[in-house]
Amino acid sequence: MPVSIDALSLLLGGTLFLAVLLGGLSGPRTWRAWRRRRVASLPFPAAWRTILRRRMPLLRRLPADLQLQLKRHMQVFLAEKPFIGCNGLEVTEEMRVLVAAQACLLILNRPSEYFPNLRQVLLYPSAYWVDRREGGAGGVQHERREARSGESWVQGQVILSWPDVLAGAADPTDGQNLVIHEFAHQLDQERGRATGAPFLGERARYARWAAVMSAEYRRLREQLARGEPTLLSAYAASEPAEFFAVASEVFIEQPQAMAEAHPELYGELSRYYRVSPKDW
């Protein structure tokens, strides 16, 4: 029997009322989960598929189940996270899609709140300049300008240079990916300042994480001091938070090399991210 427009409206209205009621009775988390399931169930836009096919060759390496999961995560991410263009940059659909695809690589197979502290993504048309104050001898403060391609702020902003976003997506094997780097910082900042130790869940996991990461960080600094070639860049040796972010880039883009040269580091990151990129 055909359903009349009035009956359909009543049905949809009842569904909406039920969702609102659930949100009121069970709290905002239930309402948010319902809304996210609804967004993730929508058809993935054909235009987004075209962008990913043209700009992000890494997607072709992912197993089919992870490709599907990535696309669903992207839909939720893009429904919730606002993008702002800076220095005259007009944010396009391609920009939003490429940032979301690379960021969501970090939440595959993981129960995710979609970078809960992230309030906005700021995109620049190129590297941008920031002024920094540094203490000198006798407490004298000096100002200097430095160019940056990206940052992650604990207050809830990720800042990215669009050319670097493009470059990171274009070459999935060089171990350099600005979006992965800055969103790894966002994961690290979920409980406050980035320290190189993101939230791991179980208390027992922190001891192993600290042991492995400390040993690998120390090893990298010693290799650099001896002038030896290293898989991770020298920037990873600047502080533990940067070590985690750089290691995350290499883990996703050069997994086989990491697994061979740093098996314990690879294992720890594989347990944290719940994927094994060397098997893709």
- For 262, other C-beta atoms within 10 Å of its C-beta total 23
CA distance linking residue 202 with residue 99, whole number of Å: 30
- Identity of the amino acid at 18: L
Q: What is the pLDDT of residue 137?
A: 60
23-133+142-177: which CATH topology? Answer: Cyclin A; domain 1 (1.10.472)
Residues making up the chain, counted from first to last: 280
- Residue 19 CB partners (closer than 8 Å, separation 6+): 31, 34, 35
Q: Which of 161, 181, 194, 198 is nearest to 252 (CA)?
A: 181
Alpha-carbon Rg for the chain in angstroms: 21
Distance CA 51, CA 101 (A): 10
- pLDDT in single tens digits along all 280 residues of the chain: 433 334 323 333 444 444 444 455 457 778 899 999 999 999 999 999 999 999 999 999 999 999 999 999 999 999 999 999 999 999 999 999 999 999 999 999 998 789 999 999 999 999 988 876 665 566 655 677 788 899 999 999 999 999 999 999 999 999 999 999 999 999 999 999 999 999 998 888 999 999 999 999 999 999 999 999 999 999 999 999 999 999 999 999 999 999 999 999 999 999 999 999 999 9
Q: Which CATH architecture has domain 195-280?
A: 3-Layer(aba) Sandwich (3.40)
Q: Give me the residue spans of the domains in the chain.
A: 23-133+142-177, 195-280
Q: What are phi and psi of 144, to 5 degrees?
A: -145, 155
pLDDT of residue 141: 57
Distance CA 109, CA 23 (A): 26
**Among residues 100, 115, 34, which one has the least CA distance to residue 70?**
100
